[in-house]
Amino acid sequence: MSMPLLNTTPPAYRVRRKRKWLRVSLTVAILLLLLLPLLSGYVTWSLTHPERRPIEVTPKDIGVTYQDIDFTSADGTPLKGWFLPATSGKTDRLIVFAHGYSGNRVADKPSLPTAKALTQNGFSVLMFDFRNHGVSGGDLTTVGLNEKEDLIAAVHYAEEQGYGTKGIGLLGFSMGASTALLAAADLPDVKALIADSPFSDLRPYLEENMPHWSHLPDFPFTNLILWELPMLIDHSPDEVSPLKATEHLTTRPILFIHGGKDDAINRAHSEKLITALAPNQPELWSIPPAKHVGTWELDPVTYMDRVVAFFQQHIEEIDQNKI
């Protein structure tokens, strides 16, 4: 009968080995606790400082006349853009464009073709770069908060130049769509707006979709980034709420465009905004296969026709001969 093997390791050695592993484990835990906020902080900084995309095409490239413009936002941030007069020469009906996050005035694919279609149908167009985008000034992106002030400044600039005397409309894409809703709530002169792929509330949106933008696991990084974000932008994401802005948009015609397969901002965000605006009977145009700001790519002709028809319906041209 064999005897069981005895543990011949000296007790003191076993204690030292256990303590060593405890020290290693504690060191790793401390490093992780230090690394996680640093990593999330870097990602938060990157998200609020997206790399600028160059403007590689101008209206001239598609046969549209334009002029360079510059103006300033309420806090003094210099903004740059273009003014595209209607081919008729009239400037009394104006559509102001608002681009998406990390883009510029022409980065959204529908932008220039739709601008051309509008100018050919009696509308002038103002396109500009939000702060920290394109060639405008500024070094911080707030995903709608300060951008709202930029869009308001664009409308005020247009009015000071005598543009849009018969009506102003807004056309926004993604972040620009949400920003258009925010700005329109403070701009009674805006007669109608089109929101292509907006989010309804920034905080819930980020809580649900942060991994899409951060490329990090939801836990623990989403909560860490949302904790660090207000310290970086000096505001809470709760302040960016197109849903709350709908309280002031109940009499304005609004067309929502949202793809059924939008994996960046789910169509449910537009549906939530429409529910809040129900008494106003806003429109929703949705193509099931379309992705984020992707409706134009699937049906560009119908896209431009619907945009033009919507603004023609709600920003009526006045026949000067009848005045």
Residue 260 lies in a domain: yes
Q: Is the pLDDT of residue 320 over 50?
A: no
Residue 322 lies in a domain: no
pLDDT band at 3 (very low <50, low <70, confident <90, very high): low
Please check whether residues 122 and 183 belong to one and the same domain.
Answer: yes
Residue 147: per-residue pLDDT = 99
Residues 104/56, Cβ–Cβ less than 8 Å: no
Mention every residue, 6+ apart, whose C-beta is less than 8 A from residue 275: none
Residue 6 lies in a domain: no
pLDDT band at 133 (very low <50, low <70, confident <90, very high): very high
Residue 254 lies in a domain: yes
Higher-confidence residue of 198 and 281: namely: 198
Which of 214, 239, 264 marks a domain boundary?
239
pLDDT band at 90 (very low <50, low <70, confident <90, very high): confident
Please check whether residues 119 and 194 belong to one and the same domain.
Answer: yes
State how many domains the chain has: 2
Please check whether residues 126 and 266 belong to one and the same domain.
Answer: yes
Higher-confidence residue of 15 and 216: namely: 216
Residue 97 lies in a domain: yes
Please check whether residues 174 and 35 belong to one and the same domain.
Answer: no
Q: What share of the chain in percent tops pLDDT 90?
A: 83
Residues 155/190, Cβ–Cβ less than 8 Å: yes
Please check whether residues 67 and 214 belong to one and the same domain.
Answer: no
Please check whether residues 301 and 217 belong to one and the same domain.
Answer: no
Please check whether residues 140 and 275 belong to one and the same domain.
Answer: yes
Q: Is the pLDDT of residue 20 over 70?
A: no
Residue 4 lies in a domain: no
Q: What domain range includes position 22? A: 14-48+206-239
**Sheet architecture: strand order including 124-128:** 67-72, 78-84, 124-128, 93-98, 167-173, 190-196, 254-257, 283-285
Q: Write the CATH number for 271.
A: 3.40.50.1820
Please check whether residues 97 and 186 belong to one and the same domain.
Answer: yes
Q: What is the chain's alpha carbon radius of gyration, rounded to the nearest angstrom? A: 26
Residue 279: per-residue pLDDT = 82
Q: Is the pLDDT of residue 293 over 90?
A: yes
> Which among 29, 59, 118 is positioned nearest to 306, based on CA atoms?
118
Residue 2: per-residue pLDDT = 57
Please check whether residues 89 and 177 belong to one and the same domain.
Answer: yes
Residues 174/100, Cβ–Cβ less than 8 Å: yes
Please check whether residues 82 and 228 belong to one and the same domain.
Answer: no
Say what the pTM is: 0.90
Mean pLDDT value across residues 87-96: 94
Condensed to tens digits (0 to 9), the pLDDT of residues 38-78 reads 889 999 999 999 999 999 999 999 999 999 999 999 999 99
Please check whether residues 214 and 256 belong to one and the same domain.
Answer: no
Helix (H) or strand (E) holding 244: helix 242-245
Higher-confidence residue of 27 and 37: namely: 37
Whole-number average pLDDT of the chain = 92
Q: Residue 67 phi/psi, 5° resolution?
A: -140, 145
Condensed to tens digits (0 to 9), the pLDDT of residues 208-265 reads 999 999 999 999 999 999 999 999 999 999 999 999 999 999 999 999 999 999 999 9
Q: Is the pLDDT of residue 5 over 60?
A: no
Q: Is the pLDDT of residue 163 over 60?
A: yes
Residue 321: per-residue pLDDT = 39
Residue 3 lies in a domain: no
Higher-confidence residue of 267 and 31: namely: 267
pLDDT band at 13 (very low <50, low <70, confident <90, very high): low
Please check whether residues 308 and 275 belong to one and the same domain.
Answer: yes
pLDDT band at 316 (very low <50, low <70, confident <90, very high): confident
Residue 5 lies in a domain: no
Q: Is the pLDDT of residue 173 over 90?
A: yes
> Which among 303, 262, 282, 313 is positioned nearest to 100, based on CA atoms?
262
